[in-house]
Amino acid sequence: MSLLHAWVAQNRHLLTPEIYARWEAMQDHHIPHREAQMEAIKKIVGTTSWRLNEDRLRALDLGCGPGSLTGRLLRFGKQVWAVGMDADPMLLALAKSMHTDVADRVVWVEADFRTTRLAMSEPFQAIVSATALHWLGPDALRSLYHRCAEALVTGGVLAIADPLAGESTWRQGMIGYDDRLWKETYPHPGETWAQFYENLANEWPGFGEAMEDFRQRAGLWQGDDNGLPWSFHQAALVEAGFGEPEIYFRHGRQAVFGAVKR
């Protein structure tokens, strides 16, 4: 048992709605147009259910964290059943405590989706992810896309909300300018991502040490805050067995993109 597993086992009572609200507030400002991206994914999942004419849609949320996207999908339609996958036991424990009203339609799985086989006993109609895949480098993303294709039914959809880098230095400059405008227009009222964890480490005895141990063991960060350009994702998706690659939503660096399993 890792230090973080032991800490979670002893401190589940600290994982309260207030902590979840702090996470949501931090994410809303850290990720411009976050709610619009969530809405786009909900519509993509709804469209997939309609196109496949399924009474029950199984969705897999990669890097689900405390269930922000998973919970939205489950409450979007009673036909949605979900698997939320994340490597962080603290965030998964928070997810379990925050989404008890839909607990009968969700399974929370602790696993590193960079290497885990995603195909399960029953295939998925949708695989989704929000602000998790830019943590991966190009080779890891190519591998992930292949494993996503294996786990989806024909006609199933992969929908990703994540940054897309510009195809040129000029386009990347425009993205940087858009980021600057966002920060000037909406000054941060609360915690940044780093401050969220720093503050919890100060508030919760033992948490900082446990989280640092987890991060060193996991070696999570391999990617780029800017993401990779659409041309990379488009080629990698087609190579993995997807068709109809498309950007469904874009504003500055933030985008929702994906493709359909052929």
- Quick: pLDDT tens for 165-216: 766 565 666 666 566 666 766 666 678 889 999 999 999 999 999 999 999 8
Check which CATH number belongs to the domain holding 39 and give it.
Answer: 3.40.50.150
Tell me the residue range of the domain where 198 lies. Answer: 3-261
pLDDT at 139: 93
132-153, pLDDT tens digit by residue?
A: 998 898 999 999 999 999 999 9
pLDDT at 121: 83
**In b/e form, how buried is each residue of 215-253, taking b as 16+ CB within 10 angstroms?**
eeeeebeebeebbbebebbbebbeebbbeebeebbeebb
Task: Give me the residue label for tokens 């230090």.
Answer: 3
Name the domain count of the chain: 1
pLDDT at 190: 76
In the numeric block, which tokens belong to residue 220?
């999570």
Total-model pTM: 0.92
Mean pLDDT over residues 99-112, rounded? 96
